[in-house]
Structure formats: structure tokens, C-alpha cells
Amino acid sequence: MLHPARAAGRALAALGCLALALPCHADNPGYDRPGLGFTPAVLDPGQVTIEQGLPTWTRDTQGGMVQSQYTTDSLIRLGIGGPFEAQLGTSPFNAIHQQGQGTDAWSHGHGDTILALKYAPSKPGDFFTWGLLGSVEFTDGAQGVRSDRRQYLLGADLNWQVADADTVGTYLEDVRTAGQDQLTVALNENHQLNKSVTAYVEAAWVRLPGAGSGTEAGAGLAWMVSQRVQLDGGLRHRLGGHAQQWMASVGVSVFLGH
């Protein structure tokens, strides 16, 4: 049997080849990865974008335990008309490694399903653009890698085009589960290095239920290989308090517009 991560990789490679071969008759509004937040723009009706982590790695330390997670996070975006976009998220394969206090265990399997709706009324070229994203994450993943409770997310992304090559933004997020809220407030700056490569930096304050608050910061690059294909990489690290210790990711995004 073909390993799920390898199957996903082969499928994305095939999609990438297809996207490179297809003519581009529509503008690509951008991708939701990399970094915190999302792009405050939606796809036109019938357009599809596939965004894939290859993979995303996180590491946390708490109470003498070290947990590392590898996630092949997948996002399918579909333009449904007007200022709206539907999204389907999942992770074909997850692996969690826990070490410490006499424990050395692995859990693996597919992740939870996420359904989302994005609203972004701004138009391309506006100085100020904004959008809202609401999602629900179900607990249908494999035992050991799925969430304990259903999660609900509400996010808002605000962007300002301050110069031809520079954009600054703010991302606000509330994730609610089991009657508790996890809050994120992030600031970011994007600088276009050339026609195909953009660099970004970001800083965030987070408040974790039952743990307190903390800060983190990161940076990364996005490379538009063509009008349809983007490669990206990013790194984020905890600065202080209670926040995710490390996050590193590489990914590919494919625009299947028409």
C-alpha cells in the first residue's frame, strides 16, 4: 500500500505539472499560506486552489515532556461567487512524537476535517483590504492525532499597501473549544524582493487556555514559480511566555483557475 504522505506528494506533483502546462486566463488572487492569517481576497466562481504543507513541523516543551508533530496540512479553496469562498482543510498524514519522563511514543494517522467560509469584499488594487474567515474543525481524525473537542475559529485579516513593494497587516483570531478561547494577535510585513519572490516577517501575541500568554516571531519566503505555482518556507519561534516553541514549514500552492 502506498504511504499516505507519498500519495499526497505524487498527486500534488501531478497537479503542479498540470498547472504549469495550463494557460492562465484569470488573475491569481494569492494564497493563504505561508505565515499566520490568510489573504483577504477570494477566488472567482469555479476557481480552485490547492495549498499543501510538505510538511509543517512543530515542537513544544511542557512539564518535562517534548512533543514534535509533523503535519501534511492540506487546504482546498473554491470560489463560490460574490465576496465568498468555501474551504476544505485536512491533513492526509500526521505523526506525533512524545518524549520525556520515561515516555517515547509515536502516534500517526490522518487529521481532522475543517470546513471554512471566507468573506472578503475588497477589490484588487485597493489600498486597504480586509476579510473574515470562520471555520469548524471536526474530531474525525485518527486516534492519537485528532482534537479532543470540536473547534470553532473566527479570524480577521487587515492589510495596507503602504508602498509598491510593501504591505503591512494585522491578523486577529479566536479559536473556541470546550467553552475556552485561544486568542492570537499578529502583525506582519511583506516585502517584494523581485517579480517572483516575496519575504515576510511576523510577530504575534497568543493567549492559551489554562496556560497564560506569550509571544512569538517568524519570517519566511514565497516564490512564485509561475502564475499558477508557489513554493514557500517559513520559521517561527517563541520569544517568551506560553507560546509554541518552534514551527517550521515548507509548502506548495497550485492555482487551478480558468
Q: How far is CA 205 from the centre of its chain?
A: 17
- pLDDT at position 100: 86
Q: How far apart are CA 223 and CA 229, in angstroms?
A: 9
Nearest to 254 by CA among 71, 20, 92: 20
Residue 26 binned pLDDT confidence (cut-offs 50, 70, 90)? low
Element (H, E) at 4: helix 4-21
Q: Domains along the chain?
A: 4-255 (2.40.128.130)
Does residue 102 carry a pLDDT above 90? Answer: no
Task: Give residue 63's pLDDT.
Answer: 77
Asked if 130 and 159 count as a contact pair (C-beta separation under 8 A), the reply is yes
Phi-psi region of 196 (alpha: psi -120 to 50; beta: other; left: phi over 0): alpha
DSSP-derived secondary structure for 117-186: EEE----TT-SEEEEEEEEEE-S-S-TTTS-SS-EEEEEEEEEEEEETTEEEEEEEEEEEETTEEEEEEE
Q: How far is Cα 257 from Cα 19, in angstroms, rounded to an integer?
A: 9
CA dist 252 and 56 (Å) reads 12
Q: Is the pTM of this model over 0.75?
A: yes
The model's pLDDT over 183-236, given as tens digits with 9 standing for 90+, comes to: 999 999 999 999 999 999 999 999 999 889 999 999 999 999 999 999 999 999
232 burial class (0-12, 13-18, 19+ CB within 10 angstroms)? buried
Which helix (DSSP H) or strand (DSSP E) does residue 211 occupy?
A: none
Cell of 29: 488572487
* Model pLDDT, residue 18: 46
User: Model confidence at 2, in pLDDT bands (50, 70, 90)?
Assistant: very low
Query: Are 183 and 158 in contact, with CB atoms under 8 Å apart?
Result: no
